[in-house]
Structure 1
Amino acid sequence: MLYENLVLLVHVLLAIGVIGFVLIQRGKGAEAGASFGGGASQTVFGSGGSGNFLTRMTAILVAGFFVTSLALAYVAKQKADALSDINIPATELPIESDTVTTEQPASALPAE
C-alpha cells in the first residue's frame, strides 16, 4: 500500500512537471517572421541541434512518467489477481419475484 501511494505521488509530480516544462518551451515556429514567410524554412524545418536544458528535462520527466505508469499498471494487476484468488463472487442482480408488484393501487392515484 505504501509502495502504491509513493509511486502515485511521484507519478502526479512528474505529470505536473511535464506540463510545466512543455508550457515553458517555445515552439520551432514561434519567431515573428515565421508566420509571414521571412526565413521560416530554417526555423520550422531546420535542424534543432542538440536539445537544450528544457528539452532534455522534458524527455527525462516523460521517461519517468512512463516508468511510473507501468509500475501503477503492475500494482493494479496484482490487486486484481489478489481479489480473484479469494473467490469473491461477482455482484448479482436481485431476482424479481412474481409476488412483487410495481403498480400502485387505484387509491394512491391522484384524483382528476
Structure 2
Amino acid sequence: AGQVQYLDLARKDLSKLFNEERLIDKSKVTYVKWLPQTDRLFLTSHASGHLYLYDTEQPCGTAAPQYNLLTQGEGFSVFSCKTKTPRNPLLKWAVGEGALNEFAFSPDGRSLA
C-alpha cells in the first residue's frame, strides 16, 4: 500500500522503510527497479500513475512533500521536492492518466520507457 522496504543483505542489520506513513503516495507500488550503474538510487512506479526516485541514504520527510515543477512535456511532468535539505523522494514524475505497471531503462541508462 505505497510502502517500499529496503533490505541490505550484505549488512543484515540495515533495513529501511520508504513512504512508511504513506505521505508520498497512498497507492500501491507496482514496480521497483535500481537505476543503472548505481547502488543507492531506485525508481518506483505506483498505481496512481506516478514514478518516484529514492536515494537509500536520504530520509523521507515527516510531512507530505511539497513539489516544484522542473520540466514538462506532452503527457508528463517532472517535479523536485521543495526543501532546503535533500530528502526522499528526490524526484516525482506524473505520467499519463492511469496506473504505471512497469518501466525499463535504455541500455545506456539515460532514457526511460
Q: TM-score, normalised by structure 1?
A: 0.17
Asked which structure has the greater CA Rg, the reply is 1
Higher helix share: 1
Larger % of strand: which? 2
Higher relative contact order (CA 8 A, sep 6+): 1
For normalisation by structure 2, the TM-score amounts to 0.17
